[in-house]
Amino acid sequence: MKSFSDLIKEVHQKGICQQCGGCVSFCNSIEHEVIGFKGSNSPPVYLNKDKCLKCSLCYLICPQTHALEEEINKTYNFSDFPTMPLGFFFNIYSCQSTDKDFLHFGTDGGIVNTIIHFLLEKELIDGAIVAKTLGPFSREAIIAENKEDLIKASGIKLDISPQLEEIQRFHTYTNSLPKLNQYRFKKLAVVGTPCQIYTIRCMQNLGIMPSGNIEICLGLFCYENFFFDKALIEKFEEDFNVKFENIEKINIKEDLIIRFKDKELRKRIIHIPFNQLKEYMRVACNACNDFANIYADISFGGLGSPDKYTTILTRSEKGRSIILKAIKAKKIRCTHLNISAKEKMKDLITQYSLNKVKRKENFFKY
């Protein structure tokens, strides 16, 4: 039987812990905190090793062990369909929100938050774990229960202190899953990157709490996440001739897109290709081969869609039905895509997905 000690050896010590918090979310009881995070940007640690039951569940649900991959592929019918690189999907769309606030503040077409709002209105969920924006490269997980919360979790830029202490670090990743523990009795939607959604699916396959209250998994495309400490911020500013404090908003699509907030810079938008960002990328992302969030109910990204539109892949029956209902209710509008436009989008997403698969293979080769 594997235990948290094996995770430390096989995942943390190799530097590939995603810090999704899946293990932390299910393991701790009210009486005992067995494992937990001590400070940001480091893997969880044993807080009370003597209370560890060595049940091996943390090992099984970790997105970096892939211990349950075969089983979840069966659950998601992937035995009948190719898992990689795109996974199974019913349909592909390019859509934007009809709500001007979600569209204005949204990362792309404001679709993710519009769908969450629609589900809240219909009382199909009573909350969603999302990531509130603190700064261009800094977010924290919150439970959104209404439109106001969701707008806080859109792409709005709030100021960050230009006087960064050595201790302050910024990243595009949010370890949202420990939030699950606090909302055990709610029907939740979770927005997550592929590693987070994978962990949830493993928990659901094993039937362990707190995954039972997750009604729907809204997955984001993800090529990689970025991490900045003080030295890296200075290097980034020099390399790309930008000032962190002037950044209004970032987006990750076919590359990293930065928009500036200063009046004179307002029109300035720069694109930085992923291959120039290797030093800023979280090392753990090298060990992930899922770009298109293949285990989500619905996957969302900007890739393949024009500016201010979101690409949507519906993957489960539940996901398909929600998108069709949102279109019918005129919460979202979609561009008409003929077969060749759909094929083009699919090819582009496949290309990014294959690049990610290759990157993982190379990472473990050398």
Q: Is 252 in the site for ligand FAD (CB under 6 A)?
A: yes
- Choose the stretch contacting ligand FAD; rule: CB under 6 A; options: 20-28, 70-78, 186-194, 230-238: 186-194
State yes or no: residue 228 binds ligand FAD (CB under 6 A): no
Task: State whether residue 325 is helix, strand or coil.
Answer: helix
Q: CB nearer to ligand FAD: give 33 or 145.
A: 145
Q: Is 300 in the site for ligand FAD (CB under 6 A)?
A: yes
Reading the block at residue 188, the tokens are: 């939740």
Return the percent helix, strand and coil in the chain, to nearest 5. Answer: 40, 20, 40
Rounded to the nearest whole angstrom, what is the least distance from the CB of residue 181 to ligand FAD in the complex?
A: 17
Nearer to ligand FAD, 28 or 310 (CB): 310
- Coil, helix or strand for 249? strand
Indicate whether 24 belongs to the interface with ligand FAD (CB under 6 A): no
- 337 neighbors 345 (Cβ within 8 angstroms): yes
10 Å CB burial of residue 288 (0-12, 13-18, 19+) is buried
Number of H helices, E strands in the chain: 11, 15
Does position 301 interact with ligand FAD (CB under 6 A)? The reply is yes
Neighbours of 141 (CB within 10 A): 20
From the list 64-72, 167-175, 258-266, 338-346, the region that binds ligand FAD by CB under 6 A is 167-175
Is residue 154 near ligand FAD by the rule CB under 6 A?
A: yes
Residue 112 in contact with ligand FAD, rule: CB under 6 A: yes
* Binder among 310, 314, 316, 353 for ligand FAD (CB under 6 A): 310
Binding of residue 293 to ligand FAD (CB under 6 A): no
Considering beta carbons, is residue 193 or 199 the nearer one to ligand FAD? 193
The residue within the footprint of ligand FAD, chosen from 225, 289, 293, 299 (CB under 6 A), is 225
Q: For 291-313, b where at least 16 C-beta lie within 10 A, e where not — what string?
A: bbbbbbbbbbbbbbbeeebbbbb
Stretch that binds ligand FAD, among 32-40, 46-54, 189-197, 234-242 (CB under 6 A): 189-197
Using DSSP, state whether 204 is helix, strand or coil. helix
The correct pick among 44, 85, 136, 192 for binding ligand FAD (CB under 6 A) is 192
Segment near ligand FAD (CB under 6 A); pick from 2-10, 74-82, 217-225, 275-283: 217-225
Q: What is the rounded distance in angstroms from the CA atom of residue 159 to the CA atom of residue 234?
A: 18
Instruction: Kindly indicate which of the ranges 49-57, 62-70, 110-118, 240-248 contains the residues binding ligand FAD, using the contact rule CB under 6 A.
Output: 110-118
Q: From 16-24, 75-83, 171-179, 236-244, give the range in contact with ligand FAD by CB under 6 A.
A: 171-179
- Determine the length of the chain: 366
Closest approach of Cβ 212 to ligand FAD, in Å? 21
Residue 207: Cβ-neighbour burial (10 angstroms; 0-12, 13-18, 19+): exposed
Alpha-carbon distance of 30 to 34, in angstroms, equals 10
Can you spell out the DSSP letters for 278-318? GGGB-GGGGG---SS-TTSSEEEESTTS-TT-EEEEE-SHH
**Chain positions contacting ligand FAD, by CB under 6 A:** 102, 106-113, 130-131, 139, 153-155, 172-174, 176, 191-193, 220-223, 225, 251-253, 300-303, 310
